[in-house]
Structure 1
Amino acid sequence: MLIRHRPEWDLPESAATPQHIVMNRRAALGGLGAATMGFGAIGTAQAQSAMKVTIEDPGYSAAAMRFQPGRPLTPQKDAERYNNFYEFGLSKDIWRAAQKLPIEPWTIKVDGLVEKPFTISFDDLMKQVKTETRVYRHRCVEAWAITVPWEGFAMSDLVKLAKPLSSAKYLRFTSLADAKTMPGLSIPFFPWPYHEGLTMAEATNELAFVGTGLYNQPMPKQDGAPIRVILPWKYGFKSAKSIVRIEFVKDQPETFWQKTSPDMYGFWANVNPKFPTLRWSQARERIIGTDETVPTVIYNGYSQWVAPLYAGMKQDRTLFM
């Protein structure tokens, strides 16, 4: 088997996601208190020392592995059966309820500061983009981690297709809100529909991805079918599911969790072990299935691709919540 030397941010294979459980992010938070996940202190030298390793190539193509996840894959069954999709409730077993998600036909509205607003079907969109597989690490704000192979396309391709005006500085994503099939919409303290945002620079970064599949199959409903956002350097709640609208806007959009719990969740939500929230530390993350904990790495190990996006910003808690 091919042996490759990975960058310093890689974790050893022994510390990688095992193959039998994926915990529910929001269930662990206990409802509205979910918004209180945070960060903890850990020495940079210690974290980097833990990641000077050599691991085995897991078998995907060089293109799929070019962002070097450094961990073996979470088994498909486990990754697809322990999910978080508040629109269907707060249970760990949300994958069952999510099968009611209506995905055909599916359209996405693209509007705001674009040359010409339009609505496009999911099928037509897929004819206009080049799909690929990317193996990414996923860091949950609950301090657990998995590694999965996504199918989809570069978000920069979507931006090009939209033809935004020069005045557009941010993207705002809106998820489906279907009261007939989504019982979670009755939870009164959540500002439905789910909505998230990115800067234009983040959206056009090479890591930013639009997911349409998982494990070489169409995106499971519980994972955000048929189309979702994937941002591996941020906490998972930034990656909105089941997208129905993409707006290009001038001002920074307020997001779902900012509105729900502004003291705990912010706009940026970049992974960083050094910043605790009011509840607990993010210094370490639990590897699902073994309960082993390992040091969390800033930007979830993707610093070399995304750190320059924030070089001119104040490196305080605001950037990492």
Structure 2
Amino acid sequence: MNHAIIEYGFKPATFYTIRDMMPFILTLFNAPAYMIWPTGRLGIAALIVMAAGLGYGIWHWREYQREMKENQWFLLGILLTLAPVLTLVIGFKLPQWVAIPLPNLSLEPTGGALMILAALPALVAGWILGPISAALVGLISGICLAFWDTHSPFTIIEFVFFSTLVSVAIRQRFRTAVFRVLRRPFLASILIGGIHTLVNIAGAFFWASGSIVEKLEFAISNARSGVAALAGCFAIAGLLVEFALVALPKADGIKQKLKPSPSESSIKIRFLQYVVSLTLVLVLVLLLVNWFVAGNSAEKMVQSQLENIARTTTNKIPFFFNTG
């Protein structure tokens, strides 16, 4: 086998390197569980506003919730029980990349944990039951990740928000091509996960304390691991739910026929849709460019500091040799 690996150009050291960069996590129960709440007024206000807006969105989308009968309540109970277990077992520790610690706190930066099945109960609830059930299950999963991994209360907001959003995307019945694509769980998870960069940077910005520059630097430097962790688990769950949807196409209990989309029924909404879409794309591109520029700058800064430390240490070695 080793000859075959060498023959085709693969080196065994590569596998060990990947294993060292992304070590396997059996469970997060051994990790310390605590929450770091925002200390500034702006962070507390942002957390309250986000939670209130999320609550309003869930109430606004209540029409997509399935009527709950005995079987549905039983399924919801099972998913609520499985949520903390699947969230805290089996995953990978992501690299730190260029992450920096929280300002004004003596904590070392750590890469996020990609828990493989963390989003599966929430997406199953969103597919079969509806957005309210998805929000409840996502709340349990988000609390577990917030306490045992990220230690940020904004993780709860992000997890509930994306669980609800994917559920609405899967259960909506609009007939245009865009909404037809969004009804596929895997594609919905991928497309909606694309906007997670904005939500993650906003949450990290309001979570951190310090000046605006320190907040922005922390948010951008930690966005890579945060986005990869949450978007990755939603993509995996979306793929699994996609297979289940193909096998059980009527499990969602939706009997409503397709209806015209908002852009088909109103010219004003169609114009606003184009404007908002273009604005979001431009903002996303701008954030991605700033993200890469700030990441490269931080990496070069750390490398320069390490080189200075090494140079200073090297220059002092002859002095110690001469003086004994």
TM-score normalized with structure 1 length: 0.29
Q: Which has the larger radius of gyration?
A: 2
Question: Greater strand share, 1 or 2?
Answer: 1
Looking at both structures, which has the greater relative contact order when contacts are Cα pairs under 8 Å and sequence separation is at least 6? 1
Please, what TM-score do these two structures have when normalized by structure 2? Answer: 0.29
Which of the pair is proportionally richer in helix?
Answer: 2
